[in-house]
Amino acid sequence: MSTRRKAGLWSGLDRPILVIVIFLMAIGIVLAFAASPAAVERAAWIDDPFYYLYRQLFFAGMGLAILAFVSALSVTGVRRFAGLALVGALIALVLVLIVGADVKGATRWIRLGTFSLQPSEFLKPAFVVIAAWLFAEEDRGAPAPGRLIAFGFYGLSVLLLMLQPDFGQTVLISLVFGALLWAGGLSWLHTTILGVLAVIGGGGAYLALPHVRDRILDFIGPGGERTQTETALDAMSRGGVWGAGPGEGQVKHLLPEAHTDFVFSVAAEEYGLIASLAIIGLYALLFARAWMLSLRLTDPFAQLATSGLALLFALQALVNIGVNLDIAPPTGMTLPFISYGGSSMLALCFSAGLLLALTRRRPGAYAHRARQGALSA
C-alpha cells in the first residue's frame, strides 16, 4: 500500500476531537504516575510502585491502535463492525455469568491471565451505533421494525447487565437509549411513559438487588462508600486553587480506588481547582464538538450515532465526577480516558474511533453550508 493511500485512510478526521482525546489520555498517564504508588500500597502482591502506570501506558498504546483502525472505517464499515462488536459483547456477557470473576459482590469480568475483560464496556458504544442504525433504517422505510428490534437488543442488554449486577451501566445505556428515541422522533407522551417505566424499574432494582440498595443507602447515610466520597472531597479541598504539587498529594493514600473511581480527586488535590475545571472543560468541548458535527451531517444514521456517542462520553464523565463531588452514589464508572482500566481504555478508544469515522469529512457527508464552516474552522 502506498504512503499516499495509507494517509488517505485517515484523511478528513476531525482534528479537534482527536486532539481532545489524546490530551485526556495524556492526563490519565500523568495521574497514573501520581496515583499508582498509593494504589500499590493496598495490593500486597505488587512490588513495583509504578505497576499501574506501566499498564496504563500499555493500554493507552493498544487503545490508540484500536482508535486508528476503527477511525479509518467507512460509515458502512462502522455499522458492520459495531454489529459484530454488539453480538460479541452480548455473548461475552452470557459467559460472564458462567465463568466470570466475582469482585465485591458483582460478576462483571472474565479473567484472561493478568487481564480482566469487562464486556459491558464494549457493549455501550456498539449498542448505541446499532440502535441509531435501526432507527434510521425504519425512518427510511425499511420493512423491518427497526425500533422494535432495538428495544429487543436493549431489553437483552439490560437483563444481562442486571444479572451481574451492574446498575450503573444499565442506567447509562438507558439514558442514552432514551435520548436516541427522543431524537429519533418519539413523542413526548411515549417518552414520558418510558420515563415512568424506567423509574419503576429503578425502584424494582432497589427492592430486589441488595447491591443496588446498599450503594444508595451508603450514599444517603453513613457507611463505607460514604467514607470514600468524603475522603475524595477532603482531597479536593486540600488541593485549593493551584494544588499541592505533582506527587505531593496525601489523601490519595486513604482512597481505595485512587487510580480508578476517584482519580478526579487525585487531580484536584495535586493540581488544584484550575486543573479540575480544565478536565471538565475538555469533556464539555468533546461533547459540544461532536454534537455540533452531528447537526451538520446529512446521513440520519451518522447523525443519531454521533450524538449518541457524544452523550455517552458526557454522561459517563458527569457520573464519575458527580461521585467524586458526592452528588451521586458510587457506580464504579471510570472517568473516560483518564481512569486506570484496560477494558475501559480499549472500549473508550473504540468509541472514539467510531466517532471519528462517523464525523470524517467525505463527499456528501455534510450539508454545503455547514461543510464550508467546518473546513474553515
Cα angle 298, 77, 125 (rounded to 5 degrees) comes to 80
Cell 479537534: give the residue: 16
What's the grid cell of residue 250? 496525601
- Domain range enclosing 201: 13-362
Cα 164 to the center of its chain, rounded Å: 18
Dist. CA 275–CA 334, nearest whole Å: 18
Residue 12 grid coordinates: 478528513
- How many independent structural domains does the chain possess? 1
6 located within any domain: no
* 51 contacts 336 by C-beta, under 8 angstroms: no
Beta bridge partners of 109: 101
335 vs 313: CA distance, rounded Å: 9
- Give the contacts of 332 (CB within 8 A, at least 6 positions apart): 106, 166, 168, 261
User: Could you read off the pLDDT tens digit of each residue along the chain, which spans 377 residues?
Assistant: 445 545 566 678 999 999 999 999 999 999 999 888 888 887 777 888 899 999 999 999 999 999 999 999 999 999 999 999 999 999 999 999 998 877 766 678 888 877 888 999 999 999 999 999 999 999 888 888 988 999 999 999 999 998 888 888 998 999 999 899 888 777 677 677 777 777 777 677 667 666 666 666 666 665 544 567 777 888 888 888 888 888 788 877 777 788 888 999 999 999 999 999 999 999 999 999 999 999 999 999 999 999 999 999 999 999 999 988 888 887 878 999 999 999 999 999 999 999 999 999 988 888 765 444 444 44
- Give pTM, 2 decimals: 0.89
Which residue(s) pair with 106 in the sheet? 103
3-state SS class at 225: helix
- Coil/strand/helix, residue 288: helix
